[in-house]
Amino acid sequence: MTMLQALVGVEFPPTTTYLNTASCGRLPRRAVRAVSTLAEELAAGRPGGAGDYAVMNAVRGSFARIAGVHEDRVACGGSVAVHVGLIAASLPPGAEVLFPEGEYASVITPFAVRGDLKLRYAPLEALAEAVRPGTALVAFSSVQSSDGRVADLAAVRAAAAAHGARTLVDASQSAGWLPLDAGAWDFTVTGAFKFLLCPRGVSFLTVTEEAQTSLPPLHAGPFAGESETLYGPIEELAHSARRYDESPAYLAYNAAEQSLALLEEIGIEAVHAHDTELARQFRAGLTDLGHEPLPGDSAIVAVPGLGHRVPELARAGIVVADRAGNLRAAFHLYNSAADVDRVLDRLAG
């Protein structure tokens, strides 16, 4: 038995055939216990207040290791849209921002509501070619939410560098199964409630040291100072990306500490191999049934035109999603070949 199999058996007792991690990941049992413990302490009147900030820093360090950056480059918060809003607010009027067509709303809308930026769109496959002189920022998801397509990260990075554009990558649909090199991008944002197996209320922003010089900490509170400041203006902002921290949601972060530790124990490379192998088996089975899944080597598989079968699968205890008409199945460490066979059998029937 592999380490992955042993840990999964303990942390994720069998329930349904759950293939919807791209919407929301399952919580490991250790995370559930951590939340329950803190909740009971709060109910009893915890002497230390709402929680311990050391947990926040432990989570920061764990994500930094998963993302391949120093923890000084990681800010913790609760929402990708808030992180993106900071970046959108930092751009000068008239700046051009390039997105893929059909990009997730949280990546686009904070820029759109400015009303004084130039927004441009290109097909995901042609995103690198669409970068041009005058493009200020390229903002995109490393893996698309609607269909699991993986962006050509190397090509986009090279094109942005050639034209002096900054880059913003949303890793919400990739962090936890696809190795992440956050330091290669000016900004990354990650909602942790999917493949990172955390509750909603946990998200991460990474900022290069150079990009930090132009990013104002617009929602700076007591935790954004180099030392804690409870009253009056902060005299000295944190020298690290912690200046962009939101006030901690301790219940969510207590769970996140355990979830990220589990992923570190297993290793993202092992998760990547497991998830993508199951996805390949599913694509092959779909093809044998006469369906045409979108090609690729993503842990997320989309089958155009089959979204209408999601309710039927749900009644059979198989949890998938309907996104833009696609039947979307997402494979993660708690899935197995038996899950692949079960959904294929149901689709065949």
Per residue in 275-323, pLDDT tens? Answer: 999 999 999 999 999 999 999 999 999 999 999 999 999 999 999 999 9
Query: What residues have CB less than 8 Å from 178, skipping those under 6 apart?
Result: 142, 143, 150, 171, 268, 272, 299
The CB density around residue 335, as the number of other CB atoms within 10 Å, is: 23
**H or E segment to which residue 99 belongs:** strand 96-100
CA distance 325 to 319: 16
Name residue 137's beta-bridge partners: 97, 166
Residue 204 CB partners (closer than 8 Å, separation 6+): 63, 67, 74, 75, 76, 77, 83, 188, 189, 190, 192
The phi and psi torsions of 157 (rounded to 5 degrees) equal -60, -45
Fold of 44-265: Aspartate Aminotransferase; domain 2 (3.40.640)
- pLDDT reading at 3 higher than 80: no
* pLDDT level of residue 20 (50, 70, 90 thresholds): very high
Q: What is the pTM of this model?
A: 0.96
Average pLDDT taken over every residue of the chain = 96
Radius of gyration of the chain (CA): 21
What one-character-per-residue DSSP string does 262-330 give? HHHHH-HHHHHHHHHHHHHHHHHHHHHTT--PPPSS-SEEEEET-GGGHHHHHHTTEE-EEETTEEEEE
Q: What average pLDDT does the segment 210-239 reach?
A: 91
Q: Between these two residues, 227 and 61, which has the higher pLDDT value? A: 61
Q: Would you call 120 helix, strand, or coil by DSSP?
A: strand
Mean pLDDT of 187-191: 98
In this structure, CATH architecture of domain 3-28+267-348 = Alpha-Beta Complex (3.90)
Cβ atoms 204, 67 nearer than 8 A: yes
pLDDT at 121 over 80: yes
pLDDT score of 14: 85
Q: How far apart are CA 58 and CA 238, in angstroms?
A: 17
CA distance 16 to 65: 32
> Checking DSSP bridges between strand 300-304 and strand 326-330, what pairing results, if any?
antiparallel
Encoded tokens for 140: 């995109």
The gap between the terminal CA atoms of the chain, to the nearest Å, is: 33
* Section 45-53 average pLDDT: 91
pLDDT value, residue 5: 81
Per-residue pLDDT averaged across 231-245, rounded?
Answer: 94
pLDDT at residue 1 in the model: 62
How crowded is residue 270: how many other Cβ atoms within 10 Å of its Cβ? 15
Can you give the residue ranges of every domain in the chain? 3-28+267-348, 44-265
Q: Do domains 3-28+267-348 and 44-265 have the same CATH topology?
A: no
Q: What percent of the chain has pLDDT over 70?
A: 100
List beta partners, residue 100. 122
The answer, yes or no, to whether residue 336 has pLDDT greater than 90, is yes
